[in-house]
Chains A and B, each alone.
Chain A
Amino acid sequence: MNVAALFEPLMIALILTNLALLVTSRTGVLIRLIAAQGAILAFAPLFPSSNLPVHLALLCLAVFAIKAVAFPYLLSRTLRRIDADPLIEPYLGANLSAAAGIGGLLFSLWLEHRLPVPPGLFAPLLFPAALTTIFTGLILVVTRKNALTQVIGYLAAENGIFLFGAPLSRQGSVWLELSILLDVFVGVFVMGIAIHHINKTFESIDVDRFCTLRD
């Protein structure tokens, strides 16, 4: 089996993790799903050719270490420490979120035909999978009340952006990718501290409580 044949199953697995992110209500499962998505993304820069330059291997390792290990560890540590209510009802239910995600997939497939992308730049399914991942992240950020879920949505959106950059990583943008990874890492670190403070001040990580003014 050649390497390129594995790319499409990988992209479909990514789309499925997006669907799972949208229908899951438990924060613990969400963290595991975003870890799985990070692990899938770590393989994305390897395609389409099978030869492996050193800087690309470095990028894959860094992506795996940060997205599949460090982020989930930080998030689950925050989840453990704040001891929050595991179920905060979202603005948009699971079924509607899934429908919105499928709408995002349809839109990205339509957009792929409309955008003047240089032929051969994106492997098949990469563009729709990346754009659907960004949409999933946006849906999670907009429709969830749980601050931790919103961080996961932000990570999913960043995963989509990373996937867009993956085909370019062979052309020397690897250091740019690495610096973005570092930025996101710091971002998640800061968000973990922020969520801790939110939990201490409001006694919950339900962002709806920000609307109730207190003295």
Chain B
Amino acid sequence: MAAPAVLRILTALVLAPLLLGVINRVKAIFAGRQGRRLSQPYRDLFKLARKGAVYSRTTTWIFKAAPVVSLAAILAVLVLVPLGPGGPALSFTGDFILAVYLLALARAAVVLGALDTGSSFEGMGASREAAFSALAEPALFLCFLVLAASTHGLTLGVLLRGAALSSTAPELALAPIALFIVLLAENSRIPVDDPNTHLELTMIHEVMILDHSGPDLAFIEYGAAVKLWIFCAVLTGAVLPPLTGDPWLDFALAVAGVFACAACVGVVESVMARLRLPRVPKLLALACACATIALILTLWR
């Protein structure tokens, strides 16, 4: 029997903040530091959840609704994304389109919340986030199209059965590369954005949530962690097919794959500098080009 859908969703809910801990630990190892505890993201979330929220007088209900809408949309995506064998909890034809646009809804909520503060600083971050995600979206869809063309399926459960490793077609390896670039862009990681910086010229995601505090900030931070989990799960699903045939072992391998993706993000953050902002669209265009070549060659076969 495959791991029940509830267990897979619970695993994601519980382990998502640990991904951030793993990324930080990998970066610390590269820098020769001991690094913070792996449980530090959990502690931060609990600390924020205990505190009260402060609201500026210029904000309206949009600012208060943004964290809730964003977290709810991201959690809804979690229901659609499979992990390991057994398929997702909910599946229907074209569910990947809903998943992508639920993520867009989450982003739109945070962007609107940032604009609602009336701060030009946050407006700048919101504009950058909207621009870069608009460029990442075609790359993401092209990757899904590549997987759809090779697996002949239109549900995430079929698309994410590890086409890259289970097929002999070498061009399918390009889709995970493009997906990884989209992962870095969508989750505001280096080389697109530096999640640790608080310099106004470099921030994208961090600047949008400067005015949020307490449980609201905890919602957004937790949502960001779950979103990272979702992208890592999609990447793992695109690369790793069920290897052993034993459902529980394959599930454990898929979870390990998700953490391996996080470790890769940590390695990229350790060895690369952040790109200049005008070069980020070039990077995303490269992801689009890789995915397009993969799509052309997949359809050509």
Q: Which A residues are within 8 Å of any B CB, using their own CB?
A: 5, 8-9, 12, 15-16, 19, 23, 94-95, 98-99, 101-102, 105-106, 109, 125, 128
Known interface pairs A9-B170, A12-B171. Does A102 touch B286 (Cβ–Cβ under 8 Å)?
no
Q: In the complex the two chains form, what is the Cα distance from A99 to B138 in whole Å?
A: 14
Partner of A94, one of B169, B285, B300: B285
Q: In the bound complex, do residue A98 and residue B297 qualify as a contact, i.e. CB atoms below 8 Å apart?
A: no
Q: Can you list 28 residue pairs at the A/B interface with Cβ under 8 Å?
A: A8-B169, A8-B170, A9-B170, A12-B170, A12-B171, A12-B174, A12-B297, A16-B290, A16-B293, A19-B286, A19-B289, A23-B282, A23-B289, A94-B282, A94-B285, A95-B281, A95-B285, A98-B285, A99-B289, A102-B289, A102-B292, A102-B296, A105-B293, A105-B296, A106-B296, A109-B300, A125-B297, A128-B300
Q: In the bound complex, do residue A98 and residue B286 qualify as a contact, i.e. CB atoms below 8 Å apart?
A: yes
- Is B168 interfacial (CB 8 A cutoff)? yes
Q: Which residues of B, 274-301, contact A by the 8 Å Cβ criterion?
A: 281-282, 285-286, 289-290, 292-293, 296-297, 300
Q: In the complex the two chains form, what is the Cα distance from A105 to B292 in whole Å?
A: 10
Known interface pairs A94-B282, A105-B296, A109-B296. Does A5 touch B168 (Cβ–Cβ under 8 Å)?
yes
Residues of A within 8 A of B285 (CB): 23, 94-95, 98
Residues of A within 8 A of B297 (CB): 12, 125
A171 shortest CB reach to chain B, Å: 27
Closest partner residue, chain A, to B297 (CB atom): A12
Q: In the bound complex, do residue B282 and residue A15 qualify as a contact, i.e. CB atoms below 8 Å apart?
A: no
Residues of A within 8 A of B282 (CB): 23, 94-95
Residues of A within 8 A of B168 (CB): 5
Q: In the complex the two chains form, what is the Cα distance from A98 to B287 in whole Å?
A: 11
Q: In the complex the two chains form, what is the Cα distance from A9 to B169 in whole Å?
A: 8
B138 shortest CB reach to chain A, Å: 12
Residues of A within 8 A of B300 (CB): 109, 128
Residues of B within 8 A of A125 (CB): 297
B298 shortest CB reach to chain A, Å: 11
Residues of B within 8 A of A9 (CB): 170
- Chain A contact residues, majority secondary structure: helix
Q: Which B residues are within 8 Å of any A CB, using their own CB?
A: 168-171, 174, 281-282, 285-286, 289-290, 292-293, 296-297, 300
Q: In the complex the two chains form, what is the Cα distance from A15 to B294 in whole Å?
A: 11
Q: In the complex the two chains form, what is the Cα distance from A9 to B286 in whole Å?
A: 19
Residues of B within 8 A of A23 (CB): 282, 285-286, 289
Closest partner residue, chain B, to A109 (CB atom): B300
B294 shortest CB reach to chain A, Å: 9
Q: In the complex the two chains form, what is the Cα distance from A99 to B282 in whole Å?
A: 12
Residues of B within 8 A of A15 (CB): 293
20 more contacts with CB within 8 A, not counting A8-B170, A105-B293, are A12-B170, A12-B171, A12-B174, A16-B290, A19-B286, A19-B289, A23-B282, A23-B289, A94-B282, A95-B281, A95-B285, A98-B286, A99-B289, A102-B289, A102-B293, A102-B296, A106-B296, A109-B296, A109-B300, A128-B300
Q: In the complex the two chains form, what is the Cα distance from A9 to B282 in whole Å?
A: 25
Closest partner residue, chain B, to A23 (CB atom): B286
Q: In the complex the two chains form, what is the Cα distance from A98 to B171 in whole Å?
A: 17
B275 shortest CB reach to chain A, Å: 13
Closest partner residue, chain A, to B170 (CB atom): A9
A29 shortest CB reach to chain B, Å: 13
Closest partner residue, chain B, to A25 (CB atom): B282
Residues of A within 8 A of B286 (CB): 19, 23, 98
Residues of B within 8 A of A109 (CB): 296, 300
Closest partner residue, chain B, to A19 (CB atom): B289
A115 shortest CB reach to chain B, Å: 15
Q: In the bound complex, do residue A98 and residue B296 qualify as a contact, i.e. CB atoms below 8 Å apart?
A: no
Q: In the complex the two chains form, what is the Cα distance from A23 to B292 in whole Å?
A: 15
Residues of A within 8 A of B174 (CB): 12, 16
Q: In the complex the two chains form, what is the Cα distance from A109 to B297 in whole Å?
A: 9
Q: In the bound complex, do residue A98 and residue B289 qualify as a contact, i.e. CB atoms below 8 Å apart?
A: yes
Q: In the complex the two chains form, what is the Cα distance from A204 to B83 in whole Å?
A: 56
Q: Which 3 A-B pairs have the closest CB atoms?
A: A9-B170, A98-B289, A95-B285
Q: Which of A12, A19, A125 has the most CB of B within 10 A?
A: A12
A188 shortest CB reach to chain B, Å: 28
Q: Which of B282, B289, B296 has the most CB of A within 10 A?
A: B289
A122 shortest CB reach to chain B, Å: 14
